[in-house]
Structure 1
Amino acid sequence: MATTEDTPVYLAADCGGSHCRVRLYDEDGMMLAEGRGGPANASLGLDQVMSEIFRATRAALGKLDGETIPLSRLHAGLAVAGLIEQERREEFVRIPHPFASMTAETDAFVAQLGAFAGGDGGILITGTGSCGFAVAGSEKFYIGGWGFPVSDQGSGARLGHLALRRALQAYDEILPSSPFCKAILKEVGTHPPEIARWSFSARPADYAALTRIVFTYAKKEDEVAVNLVRTIAEEINQLIRALVKRDVEEVHHIGGLAEPIQPWLDKSLGRYTAQPRGDVFDGALRLVNNRTGLINKSGKARV
């Protein structure tokens, strides 16, 4: 990549509850490299979010061939899950950073911006957490996204939490057991006291990691696993219906749960499925170029 010190380089970041992904782009929109970090939901604190962004960015920069680009040359656009609380948003615009510029919005906002190229439409994210966001004419609004455990219906964290509770109910012979229940307990702890200790420090991503077991046993037609998947599918149906009720004509469904849950969703809602024009990284680039969202104008900080 032949550049000068004045040539802009763009950083697009997708910061979620399970991981942070960063992509670097040149001024023509060509991707140069990608890096990954750990959980970077705003609910974990902006210090952790920024730390994971730096880690993922350095990983991406390390993949560039023959050129060293300092952080001070990067124009950053960040899609940050959980960046919805006003106090957190105010903190973001003040936090020191080493980039040439830094702009952010919620992951749902940025994903919608990418999927609909700035036009009308709704986005539904069901990953570790869940959130809906839509633009319908002059109206912009969120559905859910208030964080685990009070919100995040239809999410991986919600499904994992339900799975663990159900497995404990089976252990205590409150409800019937199944091979799925035994598999969940084996994953987290053999006895309830171990599971209780695990829960004291468990993050949403830890609960979401249990979803692979749920879907594995649902495919085996384990009755308990099937019922849990059906429960989560109906919660996602409710989110889609809530968007449609607000005059949203197209909904793009993304996130780690979007693909495995698809066969379980209400088929009649398929007519609202959108064909996206771009993804969250396209949205992050638009965020930078359009100067949309939260713009951090603080002084630079060395990292």
Structure 2
Amino acid sequence: MADALYLGLDGGGTNSRARLTDAAGLVLGEGVAGSSNLTLGVDVAATAIRAATAAALDAAGLDASALGRVRAGLGLAGANVPSLAAAIAAEPFGYAAVAVASDAVAACLGAHGGRDGAILILGTGSQGLALVQGRATAVGGWGFQIGDDGSGAILGRAAVRAAILSIDELAPRSALTRAVMARFHDDPSEAVIWAKSAVARDYARFAPLVFEHRAAGDAVAEALIDEAVAGVGAQLDRLMALGASRIVLVGGLAEPYRPWLPERFAPVLVAAEGDPMDGALALARREAA
């Protein structure tokens, strides 16, 4: 096993990040590729996983001939759906071994160093996960269409909707709504055409605009953030009810949300000890063991 390589891959709705280490844990290389969210399709996810793996190998000065030494841990959005997890695990990646879990499980393992705790992912999508006495319980994470409260996709979609409503004077206009419409050249018809094929990550690109305008005192942005914070707070409350006394916020929107969360959550919100790729590497090592 001395020549074994370990790959930890964190696959979310926006991108896939891979970290390659040797048997001693020394980082050899990292790679980034597109989304490997399984709900976008197993073929789409597999393509991104292969690309991120190849990029990590290349950064380590290795090529595809090293795949047979790689023990991989894949923490993927959508892997909480058993059929999708089984499908991606069956893909012929060429790894020596592979373990698949949801991106939430990988993030929680990385954040708490294997100890009890919980995480709330706030990125393109959202999902909470509590690890308490060895049992993992997920909260949310059912996808952009029917869940993911507080996610970038849901917040971004709310911003686009507010902007469109403002055109018909069914909702107030503000600097935020004007900024959103500027992305569509102030043409609601362009927004309609865009929305026909828009996916979660497309909507999520509008989320930073909402936080930017909330900080500037924009009334529409304030209302949207208040609604989103209520969804985030409900998930935090549920994680605490499950027995989690330590919760790490992870994902691209973790820090933007912090100033707007109720003070009562301050005692349980802690800093992460590691990142989701560390958690995925832990999956790989468990599989190898």
TM-score of the alignment, normalized to the shorter chain, above 0.5: yes
- CA distance in 1 between counterparts of 2:155 and 2:185 reads 18
Q: Distance in 1 between matches of 2:246 and 2:139?
A: 15
Q: CA contact under 8 A between 1:23 and 1:31: conserved in structure 2?
A: yes
* Pairing 1:153–2:149 present: yes
CA contact (8 A) 1:39 1:205 kept: no
Contact 1:125 1:254 in 2 (8 A): yes
SS at the partner of 1:291?
helix
Question: Which amino acid is 2:102 matched to?
Answer: T
Residue pair 2:98, 2:287 contacting (<8 A) in 1 also:
no
Q: CA deviation at 1:7?
A: 0.6
When residues 186 and 106 of structure 1 are mapped into structure 2, their CA distance, relative to the original with a 3 A threshold, is same
Separation in 2 of the partners of 1:55 and 1:92? 15
CA apart distance, 1:281: 1.6
- What is the aligned residue count? 287
How far does residue 63 in structure 1 lie from its aligned partner after superposition?
Answer: 2.2
The equivalent residue for 1:78 is 74
What is the correspondence of 1:163-174 to structure 2 with a 5 Å cutoff? 163-174=159-170
1:274 matched to 2:258? no
Q: Assess, with a 3 A threshold, how the Cα gap between structure 1 residues 196 and 189 changes in structure 2: closer, same or farther.
A: farther
RMSD: 1.7
In structure 2, the CA distance between the partners of 1:24 and 1:7, relative to structure 1 (3 Å rule), is same
Among residues 83, 86, 91, which one is paired with 2:87 in the alignment? 91
Q: Report SS of the residue matched to 2:183.
A: helix
CA distance in 1 between counterparts of 2:127 and 2:5 reads: 30
Return the match for 2:188 from 189, 192, 202: 192
Measure the CA separation in 2 of the matches of 1:99 and 1:161. 38
In structure 1, the residue matched to 2:216 is 220
Judge conservation of contact 1:189–1:195 (CA < 8 Å) in 2. no
Alignment pair present for 1:16 and 2:31: no
| Corresponding position of 1:297 | none
What one-letter code is carried by the residue in structure 2 that aligns with 1:269?
F
Q: Distance in 1 between matches of 2:46 and 2:24?
A: 26
Q: Residues of 2 paired with 1:165 and 1:189: CA distance?
A: 16
Q: CA deviation at 1:138?
A: 5.0
**Counterpart position of 1:201:** 197
TM-score (norm 1): 0.90
Q: Structure 1: which 4+ aligned runs deviate by more than 6 Å? A: none
What corresponds to 2:176 in structure 1?
Answer: 180
Deviations 1:32-69 (A, max 9, x none): 1111111211111121111111112222222234x545
Alpha-carbon distance in structure 2 between the residues aligned to 1:139 and 1:285: 19
SS of residue in 2 equivalent to 1:62: helix
Q: Match of 2:266, SS?
A: helix
TM-score scaled to structure 2, two decimals? 0.94
Give the match's secondary structure for 2:230: helix
* 1:1-303 alignment runs, 5 A limit: 7-65=3-61, 67-68=62-63, 70-137=66-133, 139-291=135-287
Q: Tell me the SS of whatever aligns to 2:59.
A: coil
Q: Give the letter for the 1:255 counterpart.
A: G
Structure 2 gap segments, 5+ residues each: none
Q: 1:219 to 1:152 in 2, by over 3 A?
A: same
Change in CA separation of 1:47 and 1:6 when aligned onto 2, cut-off 3 Å: farther
Contact 1:132 1:145 in 2 (8 A): yes
What is aligned with 1:301? none
Task: State the shift of 1:202 in Å.
Answer: 0.6
When structure 1 is superposed on structure 2, of 215-224 and 195-204 the one drifting more is 215-224
Post-superposition CA distance 1:138-183 (Å, at most 9, x none): 5421100000120000100000000000000101110111121011
Measured after TM superposition, the shift of residue 185 of structure 1 is: 1.0
Distance 2:98 2:148 in 1: 27
Cα distance in 1 between the residues matched to 2:22 and 2:135:
33
- Range with bigger deviation, 97-106 or 67-76: 67-76
Q: SS of 1:135's equivalent?
A: strand
C-alpha distance 56-95 of structure 1, shift in aligned 2 (>3 A): closer
**What is the alpha-carbon distance in structure 2 between the residues aligned to residue 188 and residue 147 of structure 1?**
25
SS in structure 2 of the partner of residue 102 of structure 1: strand
Which secondary structure does the structure 1 equivalent of 2:10 belong to? strand
Query: Contact 2:17 / 2:277 at 8 angstroms: preserved in 1?
Result: no
